[in-house]
Amino acid sequence: SQEDPAQRRPVLKGLKQSRSAGGVWYAHSMGARANTPAAVIAGDAWKLRSSRSLCSRAGSRFGEQQSPVAAGRDEAVSSPSLSFPSLTATARMRREQKGSPGCCDNLPSVDLFDSRPGSRSDSRPASTWMGSRAASRAGTASLANTAPGPLSLDGFKDWGFADSPKTQAAKPGLLSHGHGGLASSMPNLPSMVSPKKPRPSKKGTAQVHEKLKVIVPHSDGVGGHSVKLANAPTHRYLRACDSKYILPSLMPFVTGHSQRLQASGQGMGDEDLLMVSEMFRTLKVVQEVDLDCNTMLTERSLVPLLQNLQKPCADRHLRVLSLKRCLKKEPPDGVANVVGCVVQLISSKVQGLVSLDLSGVPMGPTSHLNLCQAIREHPRLKSVNLADVKMGFDSPKVKECIDLLLRAGTLESLDLGWNPFDEEIFERLGEGLCNMETLKSLGVSHCACKTKSGISSAERFLELLANDKSLTNLDLSMNRFDFRGALVLEAALEHNARVSFLNLSGNPLSVLGFRSILRLLAIDTSGLQYFDAVDCALGNSQHGALEENGMVFSEVNPGGRYELNLCKPYHRALLRKLYGCCERFGMQVHEAFLDLWSSQGFSHPGKAANGAYAVPTEGELKFNFTVEAAMEKKMKSIKTNGGFASVLEAHFELTRVKPSLRKQVPVLAQWKQSEGKTLEQMTILEALSKDFMFTLPQFISMCRSKSMINELAWRLLPNLKGGKPFRFLALLKMPTLGEYLRFMKRSEKLLMFNVENPTGHYKLDLSNCCDFSVAEQLMLLDRWECQLAERSKLENASQNGIRSCARNEFYGGRKLEVRTIAEFMLPETGDLEFDYVSFKKPPSSAKALDKVAFDQILLTLQQAQCSPQESVRSVKNISHHWYLSAVQLRALTGIFKDAEIRGDIFVDMALRVIDQHNEKVYRARFADQEEFRRLLHRLGHAAFFPFMQPEETHFVFDFSVYDQRLACNVLLQLAQAENIRRNLRDAVFTKPDGTVVDMIAGIPMTWQRLEHMEKSGTFEVYYTCSADDRNYRVRKTFMEQYTGATVPPENEIKYWSSISSCHEDVVEFVEFLNSRFKDVSKSFTIIDGPDGNGLINLGEFTEGLLQTLKFKKFAGEDEDARIRNVFRFLDPGGEGTVSKSEWQVLDQLFCEIHLCVKEFVQFCVRTFGPDLDDAWQALDASGDGEIDEMEWLQACETLGFFGPARPIFSYLDKDDEGSVSRNEFEVLKEYMD
């Protein structure tokens, strides 16, 4: 210490580095004796894990001569000083206990003794102090070539052997002598002489001895009495180290500055611990013994230590005993002896012990039982750690041990982790917790195993936690439970206000598991404040959901079909959660549980005192769960024809989890804690997006994680309270325009979703949170609309016979295997595709869009620069603001060329038509009947059946589909009411095997009843009806019964005919009449004659057509046949005569042609302006003044008119020359408004 510190610093640094590299430093020293110079003798100086290489690093010849500086120092020291021998360690690895040769045992040893007078090297040979092994190595190479130097007492004041100058002068031999070279490089060895007066200290620590003026470690008094230095605990330790040639440790316990033996991770061996044990003979107080991670300790040293602890020093004073991870390589007998000593110690001797840690000690079954019995009987033990002690299901007495531990009345903390437990042990543990009132912390980390059914053995234990009365902290890490175990845990702890911390790390919870734990964290009835979930984001929840047949609990949409096996904890947890929904929504159980079936007698359980429902543990249960009753109560303020947005807002307000003021901090803190852990953050966001509702301030608080703003907006925007205005404010947090555009792309289906007009086709990616939200909203609307339909007693016209708005449901490309989508529980991933057809109809006060506004919409769509698909989505997004007439819907479909786009706009706007009874006006627009059947497949054959005008329609019904059987049944009943013999023509039934049945004898009368109809096969029929047979009353009844629409009086119905459904001869005849008569009834009067009877037969028709009207279009050999085709069309009943009312069908065709012409004129005005000359210039591309039919069709398509162009050409071609001239084109001016 008198040397320059700058010169010592490199040596000290090198020594520390060598020690940290794995070497365990051993040395031997001996304390001072009265009148005898003390000497520190080096035995085994190093114990290096790095073997010979580190030893040779310092190995060089030892110079026995002292350096001049060191010699000068020795002469300059006037007071006695502690002398260390010239110390250079023998570089070798020694086996501690048995003395077997180590990796360095063959290195030669060196005589390290100082040759100064009075030292031990004067009087004793090396063999007497180094032992037999050291003596055999005399004369070996040295490990340091630096000359030995003296060591001052100034650096050893912490040891407490500081003599005053007077004492040192009186005893010149005490604590004197020089030292070797290694002593000067001992960084932790303090000086034993203090130049200052020692401070007084408290009782039980180092005290000042009044007589000798020395600091005495472990003294029990404060001055005034004599103590023999040789009996001091530290001195005994030093003498023991000297006798075994071990370098003393400088732990505070050894130096006397602590009553706690804290040797955790010190790498102690048996010899080191035995030396420390010598101190216990004269110690007065020991408060703690911590030998954690000293894996080389064995029975040889631990048994003496434990026996010494039975002395008065530990009785009433010892509080902590830890042998954690000791005895790792000890045979079973040795472990049993050590555990037996522990049992004896805590049974009678150490009554003040509060903490016992024996984790990692491999005990046997007998030791388990004895130890647990001792723990149970101990009066003060509060913390016990028995992790990884082989107390698993293979131990025959583990259940008795569990019972004993859980009957300990003072335990507050118990760790049983890393012991393999099966279901029975976990159940015993869970049942025992019910009677514990003091246990606060329980650890069962890595205890579970997989059962035969593939679930975690800990699930039953998680379920029994509902009966816990005292736990606050629970360690469930690495127990192999997935989202099923998480739901069991949620159901068990949702009414537990005590458990505040859960460690769930290492369990494959995935998104579904995080949903359960986050719900538990957010609800007020739970006391949970924080949970650890390291490595919990992994796992395949989709696979687990498929194993459970899709039965996954959703807080927002809990309804569905459940088939439960009550032997499984997960299914019991599902049932408890559903009962909780009934309680939360204020429903009676019989209102929520419908179609209940049980394999055993089942009655709805009551609620226990702990808040959990005592559900049965065996049997099977099947039922449909619905929350419509609660929604009906909630929606009383919402009118039947109220907005769907209000319905969904009220539903989410009722069902979504909203963290209260007390729970906001834990939820946001959990999010903050996951910052920087991308996978965990993404999983938390995914879970939050399913069940939670957030306010804008909460969202902004979460956006402090800048790197996750895009993900936050994408996942949480559907859950943001306040609707579109708050969504807009939330999107202002987007840091860049690029992020904003990426968000818009990912959220397109949610942002373009029109909840007020949900009818349409949907293909949703359920892994996309926004698509999932759309699917969830549609399913909720489906249940709400079905409830309204039931209330209004609307006939069921759904596709599968179970009332639903959804049709053609496909999941993952395959038909959905459920009766209705209401029974389908939304999975986390996969593609869901279906058609949604709302029951909502326009109110009676609704008015169609005015002509100016509608023309502006058509013009905008025609001139739009975006794709037709984007145009259709834009129209759909604003469609709830206006209604259309049947004529306007027809015009809207006419501006799109592609049949698929045209079908989409038709489906999207079909239910916005205020005059649905005039549906044939827009149906006539579809020349391809197959195209319109595809649209009916999307909208519903029964719901969109042509109730008011089924004439001239070719029907094709698939009897395997309920609503098509229903539509056919309606048609048959209508035919029966009108004229079934004449109205149904060309009926053909094709069996599933392809066999064709010609129904010559007629359609079976049993088909008049729906339940008697065939359940498979295809039926085709053509329906026609004369005006005389038309039954308006029956048609009106059917339409109001199946659609809920209001049908006006008959005189307000536009009876219509389609050109595409008529024979071409009829079309030519109508075109002829149209060119000559503005009123078709005048032609009937001319043919019938002024004195006619009001009926025209075939002869009169032929004569009047050829002679009176000079009709020559059918001239030729087949003239009579073609005339007969027209007459047959006019006489659908086959009576042989045509009445004036039947003749009016030609007026319907007149109206169709005039409407086609008018639509074309409106198109030209929108496109080219009010001057039709501009339109003619665009149509007459050749400029020759005439346009033939082919040129006309091509020009219309090029200009963007996709309506029926051929009837318009025929109408303009007055002279039947096959071309339209400029003069003929001028006729269109008559149709300009």
Alpha-carbon gap, residue 562 to 30, rounded angstroms: 80
pLDDT for residue 664: 92
pLDDT in tens, 832-849: 999 999 998 898 889 999
How does residue 1142 score in pLDDT terms, banded at 50, 70 and 90? Answer: confident
How far from 1163 is each of 892, 901, 1157, 1199, 1214, CA to CA, in Å?
11, 19, 10, 10, 22
pLDDT in tens, 668-718: 999 999 888 889 999 999 999 988 999 999 999 998 888 888 888 888 988
The answer for residues whose C-beta is within 8 angstroms of residue 692's C-beta and 6 or more apart is 518, 522, 656, 657, 658, 659, 716, 719
Q: What is the mean pLDDT of residues 510-535?
A: 93
39 has pLDDT over 70: no
- Which of 365-374, 378-387, 629-638 has the least mean pLDDT? 629-638
Query: What does the radius of gyration of the chain's CA atoms come to, in whole angstroms?
Result: 49
pLDDT-above-70 percentage for the chain = 80
Report the SS3 class of residue 391: coil
pLDDT for residue 517: 95
pLDDT in tens, 759-772: 999 999 998 999 99
- Which stretch, 611-615, 986-990, 1118-1122, has highest mean pLDDT? 986-990
- Cβ atoms of 434 and 464 closer than 8 Å: yes
Report the SS3 class of residue 235: helix
How far from 992 is each of 554, 958, 1004, 1142, CA to CA, in Å?
41, 10, 18, 39
Q: What is the mean pLDDT of residues 281-294?
A: 90
Q: What is the mean pLDDT of residues 708-733?
A: 88
Query: For all residues of the chain together, what is the average pLDDT?
Result: 79
pLDDT for residue 1151: 85
pLDDT in tens, 801-842: 888 999 999 998 898 888 888 888 888 888 999 999 999 889
974 has pLDDT over 80: yes
- Which of 21-25, 344-348, 1137-1141 has the least mean pLDDT? 21-25
Determine the straight-line distance between the first and last CA of the chain, rounded to whole angstroms. Answer: 115
- Cβ atoms of 359 and 325 closer than 8 Å: yes
How does residue 227 score in pLDDT terms, banded at 50, 70 and 90? Answer: very low
pLDDT for residue 638: 57
pTM, two decimals, is: 0.73
183 vs 866, higher pLDDT: 866
Alpha-carbon gap, residue 252 to 386, rounded angstroms: 28
Phi-psi region of 753 (alpha: psi -120 to 50; beta: other; left: phi over 0): beta
- Among 402, 518, 422, smallest CA distance to 479 is for 422
299 has pLDDT over 90: yes
- Cβ atoms of 983 and 975 closer than 8 Å: yes
Alpha-carbon gap, residue 429 to 435, rounded angstroms: 11
pLDDT for residue 1112: 81
Q: What is the mean pLDDT of residues 323-334?
A: 90
Whether the CA torsion 107, 113, 114, 115 is positive or negative: it is negative
1157 has pLDDT over 50: yes
DSSP notation for 907-962: HHHGGGBS-GGGHHHHHTT---HHHHHHHHHHH-TTTT--SS--TTEEEEEETTSH
Up-side HSE of residue 539: CA atoms within 13 Å toward CB? 29
pLDDT in tens, 598-608: 988 888 888 88
β-pairing verdict for 413-415 and 383-385: parallel
Long-range residue pairs from 1166-1169, CB within 8 A, at least 24 positions apart, any chain: 1166/855, 1166/858, 1166/859, 1166/862, 1167/859, 1167/862, 1167/1199, 1167/1200
Alpha-carbon gap, residue 429 to 447, rounded angstroms: 12
Alpha-carbon gap, residue 475 to 854, rounded angstroms: 67
Phi-psi region of 1057 (alpha: psi -120 to 50; beta: other; left: phi over 0): beta
How far from 551 is each of 495, 592, 605, 955, CA to CA, in Å?
23, 17, 21, 40
Q: Name the phi and psi angles at 222, rounded to 5.
A: -120, 90
Determine the Cα angle at 621 with ends 616 and 623, to 5°: 130
- Which stretch, 17-31, 346-360, 1069-1083, has highest mean pLDDT? 346-360
Alpha-carbon gap, residue 285 to 203, rounded angstroms: 10
| DSSP state at residue 1106 | I
Alpha-carbon gap, residue 541 to 525, rounded angstroms: 27
Sheet containing 501-503: order of strands: 260-262, 288-290, 320-322, 355-357, 383-385, 413-415, 441-443, 473-475, 501-503, 530-532
- Cβ atoms of 325 and 360 closer than 8 Å: yes
pLDDT for residue 1211: 81
329 has pLDDT over 90: no
Alpha-carbon gap, residue 1037 to 775, rounded angstroms: 35
Take residue 860 and report the two structure tokens written for it.
């905008």
- Which stretch, 128-137, 313-322, 374-383, has highest mean pLDDT? 374-383
40 has pLDDT over 50: no
CA dihedral 1173, 1178, 1181, 1183 (to 10 degrees): 20
Alpha-carbon gap, residue 1000 to 1013, rounded angstroms: 18
SS3 of 561-611: the string is: EEEEECCCHHHHHHHHHHHHHHHHHCCCHHHHEEEEEECCCCCCCCECCCC
Burial of 579 (0-12, 13-18, 19+ CB in 10 A): buried
Take residue 235 and report the two structure tokens written for it.
């001195």
Q: What is the mean pLDDT of residues 116-130?
A: 38
pLDDT for residue 641: 52
Q: Name the phi and psi angles at 1079, rounded to 5.
A: -125, 115
Long-range residue pairs from 1084-1087, CB within 8 A, at least 24 positions apart, any chain: 1084/1140, 1084/1143
Alpha-carbon gap, residue 176 to 156, rounded angstroms: 13
- Cβ atoms of 524 and 659 closer than 8 Å: no
Alpha-carbon gap, residue 264 to 293, rounded angstroms: 6
Take residue 914 and report the two structure tokens written for it.
């205020």
474 has pLDDT over 70: yes
Alpha-carbon gap, residue 1071 to 1136, rounded angstroms: 24
- Which of 18-32, 736-750, 799-813, 1083-1097 has the least mean pLDDT? 18-32
SS3 of 342-359: the string is: HHHHHHHHCCCCCEEECC
- Cβ atoms of 256 and 217 closer than 8 Å: yes
pLDDT in tens, 433-471: 988 889 999 999 999 988 887 888 999 999 999 999 899
Alpha-carbon gap, residue 392 to 362, rounded angstroms: 11
Alpha-carbon gap, residue 205 to 198, rounded angstroms: 13
Residue where the block lists tokens 């259940």: 399
pLDDT for residue 125: 41
Alpha-carbon gap, residue 1175 to 704, rounded angstroms: 60
**Residue 1036: its H or E element:** helix 1032-1043
How does residue 636 score in pLDDT terms, banded at 50, 70 and 90? Answer: low
Long-range residue pairs from 934-938, CB within 8 A, at least 24 positions apart, any chain: 934/903, 935/903, 935/906, 935/907, 937/808, 938/761, 938/807, 938/808, 938/835, 938/837, 938/903, 938/907
SS3 of 65-97: the string is: CCCHHHHHHHHHCCCCCCECCCCCCCCCCCCCC
23 vs 915, higher pLDDT: 915
- Which stretch, 35-44, 109-118, 305-314, 506-515, has highest mean pLDDT? 506-515
Alpha-carbon gap, residue 263 to 286, rounded angstroms: 14
Give how far the C-alpha of residue 1196 lies from the chain's centroid of Cα atoms, to the nearest Å: 54
Count of C-beta atoms within a 10 Å radius of residue 719: 21
Q: What is the mean pLDDT of residues 743-748?
A: 90
621 has pLDDT over 90: yes
180 has pLDDT over 90: no
How far from 160 is each of 224, 257, 731, CA to CA, in Å?
17, 9, 70
- Among 819, 815, 826, smallest CA distance to 775 is for 826
